[in-house]
Amino acid sequence: MSKIVSLTFLLATLLTVISTPVAAAGLEKKWQNNNCCPVAICEFEKGDPFDHRRHAKRNINPFDGFIQFTDTFNNQLFVSGFLDAENFQSDTTADNQGIDVHVTDCNLQNIENGLDLDSIDDIFDKPFVGVFPNEKVSQLIGKCCVVADDNQNDQIIAVAKVKEAIRCGRNKKIVISDL
């Protein structure tokens, strides 16, 4: 997936989240002095190598896509994205297919720790969204988005690192070159 398409979707989603009156009111309250909304992204690119696959003959991502994380009002994390994956069912959750989708430490010793995205509906082959209470973008930066086959003893299928896309605070900036 091209970086331009990913960035366009990232910015469109961000504008959608903050453009509604209800969302804007909450963001205004939370970021009065900062006027910023932190965003991070994992980008999967078909053929990208990774070295976290256990007991496997090949260590390359088999699909394209991204998962985007945005801090919102009311101490919630807005998760959206698109995973263009072959041989997975659309119109169902990853959990129903025996697949784990988690954001966890990159050592991947236990992928069950961290943010669990298994229950998001339509996570493969359709744009998806989810909202998670009491989670923050800052807790995810530097971790890994992991897709694993739960039926094969958590066989790692794909890995992408969580990168900061919009930084807030004193040194706020949009970090485009790193994506």
CATH assignment of the domain containing 15? 2.60.40
What is the full DSSP assignment across 19-36? HSHHHHHHHHHHTTTT--
Percent of the chain with pLDDT over 70: 70
pLDDT class for 15, splitting at 50, 70, 90? low
Beta carbons within 10 angstroms of residue 45's beta carbon: 17
Is pLDDT of 5 > 60?
Answer: no
pLDDT per residue over 66-91, tens digit each? 999 999 878 899 999 999 987 788 78
pLDDT per residue over 124-155, tens digit each? 888 999 999 999 999 999 999 999 887 777 78
Strands 64-72 and 39-44: antiparallel
Are 23 and 158 a contacting pair, CB within 8 Å? no
**Which residues form the domain of 28?**
3-174
Q: Is residue 97 part of a domain?
A: yes
Query: Count of H helices and E strands in the chain?
Result: 2, 10
Q: What's the domain count of the chain?
A: 1
Q: Is residue 85 part of a domain?
A: yes
Is pLDDT of 178 > 60?
Answer: no
Q: Is residue 45 part of a domain?
A: yes
Q: Is residue 170 part of a domain?
A: yes
Q: Is residue 136 part of a domain?
A: yes
Q: Is residue 179 part of a domain?
A: no
Specify the 3-state DSSP secondary structure of 14. helix
Q: Is residue 142 part of a domain?
A: yes
Specify the 3-state DSSP secondary structure of 173. strand
